[in-house]
């Protein structure tokens, strides 16, 4: 099958004048080498542009073209900060009380989706288009009307909520019809597939469901659960470097604690950062013998700072950590280390390798890539993973301590259990998880998606 045209909101590169830097991320790791080798197209929002621009890169076979689409500031605001992040994001993470159902957001989202669809339809020589994520839910049906012969794939990277939650959306029908323009619609888990099917049954009575396929207006869409992977070899290689081991040791010495619990998140209300802090507080209250011996290292990457909910969340986290320090901190022991900043992949890998426990407790998550990255970086097998049952990855990492992030006492008890787990059991659990993500990496994820469409008549 020819290389598909990739469509995403984010670009695979950061462009600063003549300087081109490859961005970090699973999608870039999977798609960029494929396009670099074979040629093809990647369509994304071009930050800082006043008009569309095509950047061409050398390839072994054909040109690899990055199509950078220009959007006006107001357009991007309505489409991205508005509908994508104040409507679809909270709704799909089942935070309906945070949704802002503003019609201008919807109009902006629809207009940007139309702009992308029109542009994609005009690209010559393509046979398949692979659209990434909730920013472009209307694009498949729009393209199908213009180019019915194109094969259209869509991967929905965030959760699909229960049908009763999705039904709240005023534009629910349009979103479903847009996605059903795809030939393949894939999610991380079967639970999300089932939620989507139930949403269609409730909202589109004309749709015919047959197993994991839906026929609507004479078009058949295959639905699949295809969990995403990471670039396992890259993380393993970084973790095995002597430089990484030295960096990890320096970090541990600088923190001055015997045991380190690590949490890495984007600053987002879905990640459960506040509840995690409360659980760690309950842990220190309930297991006072660990005071002075363990610290929580919380890394929060700045995210969507243009959205007011995120600014308020940051202030609440800052206040909570200040209160926490006042309650537990001593001249010789710091219970929480908090970094509100972005770290490079190499720096994060050193943190992953250093940490005795990874405490990842999102309230609802499509997958949780940090869990996979932590496991891949545990080359010595000395770490332990505590993971929310509401992360898509929980169905994959059965060997982790799977917790209910709303159950403060349970999370605290799992922290204690993880810290006391014998070394042999740690290595056994970690070895099983590492084997899984090695076999099901991001390249295998890509092949599985492409193979589904290849088998379709």
What are the DSSP E strand ranges found in 197-258? Answer: 208-210, 213-216, 219-225
The pLDDT of residue 13 is 87
Domains 5-228+442-455 and 232-439 share a fold: yes
The H or E element containing residue 281 is: helix 273-286
How far the first Cα of the chain sits from its last, in Å, is 13
Alpha carbon distance 15, 23 (integer Å): 10
Alpha carbon distance 224, 212 (integer Å): 7
Q: At what angle do helices 423-439 and 232-240 cross, to 10 degrees?
A: 140
The pLDDT of residue 21 is 80
Q: Are 255 and 297 in contact (CB under 8 A)?
A: yes
Which residues have CB under 8 Å from 123's CB, separation 6+?
A: 5, 41, 43, 67
Q: Are 129 and 5 in contact (CB under 8 A)?
A: yes
Instruction: Give the pLDDT of the chain (457 residues) as one tens digit per residue.
Output: 578 999 999 998 887 766 778 776 768 878 888 888 888 999 999 988 999 999 988 777 778 899 999 999 999 999 999 999 999 999 999 999 999 999 999 999 999 999 999 999 999 999 999 999 999 999 999 999 999 999 999 999 999 999 999 999 999 999 999 999 999 999 999 999 999 999 999 999 999 999 999 999 999 999 999 999 999 999 999 999 999 999 999 998 888 878 999 999 999 999 999 999 999 999 999 999 999 999 999 999 987 766 777 888 999 999 999 999 899 999 999 999 999 998 988 999 999 999 999 999 999 999 999 999 999 999 999 999 999 999 999 999 999 999 999 999 999 999 999 999 999 999 999 999 999 999 999 999 999 999 987 766 5
Written out in words, the top-level CATH class of the domain with range 232-439 is alpha beta
Every domain of the chain and the residues it spans: 5-228+442-455, 232-439
Q: Are 344 and 304 in contact (CB under 8 A)?
A: no
Where does 5-228+442-455 sit in CATH, by number?
3.40.50.2000
């Amino acid at each position: 099958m020819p290389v598909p045209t990739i469509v995403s909101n984010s670009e695979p590169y950061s462009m600063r004048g003549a300087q081109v830097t490859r961005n970090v991320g699973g999608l870039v790791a999977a798609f960029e080498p494929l396009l670099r080798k074979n040629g093809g197209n990647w369509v994304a929002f071009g930050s800082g542009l006043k008009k569309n621009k095509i950047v061409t890169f050398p390839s072994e076979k054909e040109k690899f073209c990055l199509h950078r689409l220009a959007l006006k500031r107001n357009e991007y605001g309505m489409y991205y900060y508005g509908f994508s992040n104040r409507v679809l994001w909270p709704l799909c993470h089942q935070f309906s009380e945070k949704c802002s159902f503003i019609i201008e957001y919807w109009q902006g989202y629809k207009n940007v989706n139309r702009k992308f669809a029109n542009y994609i339809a005009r690209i010559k020589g393509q046979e398949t288009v692979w659209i990434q994520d909730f920013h472009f839910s209307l694009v498949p049906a729009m393209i199908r009307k213009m180019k019915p012969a194109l094969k259209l794939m869509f991967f929905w990277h965030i959760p699909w909520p229960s049908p009763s939650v999705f039904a709240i959306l005023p534009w629910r029908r349009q979103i479903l019809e847009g996605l059903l323009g795809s030939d393949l619609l894939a999610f991380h888990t079967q639970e999300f597939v089932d939620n989507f099917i139930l949403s269609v049954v409730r909202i589109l009575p004309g749709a015919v469901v047959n197993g994991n396929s839906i026929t609507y207006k004479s078009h058949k869409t295959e639905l699949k659960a295809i969990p995403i992977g990471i670039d396992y070899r890259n993380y393993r290689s970084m973790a095995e470097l002597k430089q990484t081991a030295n960096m990890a040791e320096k970090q541990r010495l600088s923190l001055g604690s015997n045991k380190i619990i690590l949490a890495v998140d984007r600053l987002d209300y879905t990640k459960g950062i506040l509840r995690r802090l409360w659980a760690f507080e309950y842990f220190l209250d309930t297991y006072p013998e660990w005071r002075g011996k363990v610290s929580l290292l919380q890394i929060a990457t700045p995210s969507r700072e243009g959205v007011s909910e995120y600014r308020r969340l940051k202030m609440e986290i800052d206040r909570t950590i200040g209160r926490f320090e006042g309650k537990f901190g001593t001249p010789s022991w710091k219970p929480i280390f908090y970094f509100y900043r972005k770290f490079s992949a190499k720096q994060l890998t050193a943190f992953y390798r250093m940490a005795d426990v990874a405490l990842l407790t999102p309230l609802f998550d499509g997958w949780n890539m940090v869990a996979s990255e932590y496991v891949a970086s545990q080359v010595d097998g000395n770490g332990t993973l505590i993971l929310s049952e509401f992360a898509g990855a929980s169905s994959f990492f059965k060997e982790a301590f799977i917790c209910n992030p709303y159950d403060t006492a349970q999370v605290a008890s799992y922290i204690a259990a993880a810290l006391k787990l014998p070394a042999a059991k740690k290595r056994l659990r970690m070895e099983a998880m590492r084997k899984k993500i090695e076999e099901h990496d991001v390249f295998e994820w890509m092949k599985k998606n492409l193979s589904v469409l290849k088998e379709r008549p």
